[in-house]
């Protein structure tokens, strides 16, 4: 079941630029503590983000440097938030982190889906420098402590752009830097897990790379509307999974 989840998460990450860290973390947390699951996935997640950034679809209009120039506040403050998020991972209750993330994710996903078929307006984020700073910091903080950076980033990016490649590239720049920070700050924990779980880690890395490219191949064939709805549905499912994990953690306290 774990490897099926990794396969689906890898394909989804190739299509939408998100999903692998959250789905992988939820699946792994059924077999080990949350903090161990996050550390275990740091290298595979960094590798996947690097590959997503390396592959340049024909539909991509701008270079990575151009995206960095425009979104530098979002990227910089996601790094700052990630540093604090690693500290939170080590001191704050898993249950609290999961439940907060579930509330935010479910609200955004449900209102987004309803806005497609009803008069309800989706969560609207204005494209300002301050919002780049706020959403970047929160995404980094939550992402490093729970591996759930994507919902926060999508709240901003989906309101900023309809360009699939732009959304995928910018979000994965943030993911990559966050994971590199995790690897740097948690290198002792990572070394211990690698020495005891190296077979699982190597399998996860191999599976994720193969199926990531399948998702990247599929992405250009999807319409913008389908892409947006797919993101909302994925966030809804992930939000429910995170909520269940949080409630289970509360019951076990």
pLDDT given at position 38: 86
Domain range spanning residue 131? 2-252
pLDDT given at position 253: 63
Query: Which segments in the chain show pLDDT lower than 70?
Result: 1, 57-61, 119-123, 224, 253
Instruction: For 168-210, write each residue's pLDDT tens digit.
Output: 899 999 999 999 999 998 888 888 777 778 888 889 999 999 9
For residue 217, give both structure tokens.
């191949």
Report d(CA 234, CA 107) in Å as an integer: 13
Contact in structure between 22 and 98 (CB atoms under 8 Å): no
Closest CA to 10 of 253, 245, 211: 211
The distance of Cα 10 from the centroid of its chain, to the nearest Å, equals 12
What proportions of the chain, in percent to the nearest 5, are helix, strand and coil? 85, 0, 15
Number of structural domains (the chain) is 1
Contact in structure between 17 and 167 (CB atoms under 8 Å): yes
pLDDT given at position 121: 61
pLDDT given at position 138: 93
Report d(CA 154, CA 138) in Å as an integer: 12
Residue with tokens 């390396």: 54
Contact in structure between 202 and 50 (CB atoms under 8 Å): no
Closest CA to 179 of 138, 140, 133, 136: 140
């Amino acid at each position: 079941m774990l490897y099926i989840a990794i396969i689906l998460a890898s394909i989804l990450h190739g299509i939408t630029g998100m999903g692998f860290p959250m789905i992988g973390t939820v699946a792994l947390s059924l077999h080990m503590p949350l903090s161990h699951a996050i550390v275990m996935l740091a290298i595979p997640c960094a590798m996947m983000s690097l590959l997503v950034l390396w592959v340049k679809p024909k539909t991509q209009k701008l270079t990575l440097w151009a995206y960095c120039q425009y979104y530098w506040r979002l990227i910089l403050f996601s790094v700052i938030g990630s540093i604090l998020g690693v500290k939170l991972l080590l001191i704050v209750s898993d249950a609290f982190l999961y439940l907060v993330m579930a509330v935010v994710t479910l609200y955004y996903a449900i209102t987004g889906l309803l806005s497609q078929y009803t008069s309800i307006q989706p969560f609207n984020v204005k494209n300002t420098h301050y919002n780049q700073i706020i959403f970047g910091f929160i995404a980094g903080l939550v992402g490093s402590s729970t591996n759930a950076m994507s919902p926060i980033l999508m709240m901003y990016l989906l309101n900023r752009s309809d360009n699939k490649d732009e959304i995928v590239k910018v979000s994965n720049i943030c993911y990559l830097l966050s994971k590199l920070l995790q690897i740097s700050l948690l290198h002792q924990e990572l070394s211990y897990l690698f020495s005891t779980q190296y077979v699982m880690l190597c399998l996860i890395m191999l599976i994720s790379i193969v199926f990531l490219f399948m998702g990247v191949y599929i992405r250009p064939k999807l319409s913008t509307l389908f892409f947006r709805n797919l993101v909302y549905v994925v966030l809804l499912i992930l939000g429910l999974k995170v909520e269940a994990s949080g409630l289970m953690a509360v019951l076990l306290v």
